[in-house]
Amino acid sequence: MTASNPNTAAPARAEVGVPRDELVRWLNEYLDTDAFSDVSLNGLQIEGKDRVTRIAASVDSSLRSIQAAADAGADLLLVHHGLFWGKPLAVTGPHGRRVKAALDAGLSLYASHLPLDYHREVGNNAMIARALGLEDLEDFGEYGGRRYGLAGTLPRELDLQDFADRIQKLTGEICLVHSGSHPFVHRIGINSGEGAGLIPEAARMGLDTLLTGEPEHKYFHDAFEYGLNAVFAGHYETEVFGVRALAAKIEEEFGLPWQFIHQPTGL
């Protein structure tokens, strides 16, 4: 039997996961976060554990989403709608409980709002356009000097009801459809979340259909008076695509497993 040498150091244990700051730097560069003027505080909003071994993704940073991410063993939660928006907030009440839940769990919170709407690889609009097989893509949906949405052409013309059914299968929710003068869908403008006010721009571009998230009363008559179809697929449901695609990209780059926290709002 060979005696062990007490002066010989034990083999170093390989560190698990990725340094949080390295992952945050990669996210900021990949999403070009600093290039966007946004009411959302994009980037790392809450600093948790030093290393990230598992990712969770969610549209919203509700208390339920934060708790579910912590329960799943995530070290970082990716969200589209973060906790900090344009002005200081007292860390009290529901807001305080959300922050406390993340801190208690050592859970980092990373938010990407407009950068994730815009991103042409993993963004909400890009992922919807890809799922629909749109061709001849061009920028659409002007807001603050930048077009965040995408317009394109379906491979073949669809009946409006068939198109709405296809969107329902894609999102899992029933769509609200305002039928303009076009019984068919061929040229589409996509703007996830809020985009009801984009019907005039869609008309100028010669599109026949707007696909967006939630309707707004002040724009109710636009679809009928401009003669365009408007398909409202839900703010939440049109914004699940980006965080899921971004989490999958992180897995591809860093080998980190991820889980989507599904907390639908019905809106």
User: Average model confidence (pLDDT) for the chain?
Assistant: 93
Closest CA to 246 of 129, 130, 110, 147: 110
Provide the pLDDT confidence category of residue 87 given band limits of 50, 70 and 90.
Answer: confident
Q: What is the mean pLDDT of residues 82-97?
A: 94
Instruction: Determine which helix (DSSP H) or strand (DSSP E) holds 160, and give its type and residue range.
Output: helix 160-171
**The pLDDT of residue 157:** 96
What would the pLDDT profile of 35-56 be if each residue is shown by its tens digit? Answer: 999 999 999 999 999 999 999 9
Give the contacts of 219 (CB within 8 A, at least 6 positions apart). Answer: 196, 197, 199
**DSSP codes of every residue in 68-94:** HHHHTT-SEEEEEE-S-BSS---S-HH
Question: What is the share, in percent, of the chain residues with pLDDT greater than 90?
Answer: 89
Residue with the bigger pLDDT between 6 and 95: it is 95
Q: What is the mean pLDDT of residues 160-167?
A: 96
Provide the pLDDT confidence category of residue 4 given band limits of 50, 70 and 90.
Answer: very low
d(CA 217, CA 148): 22
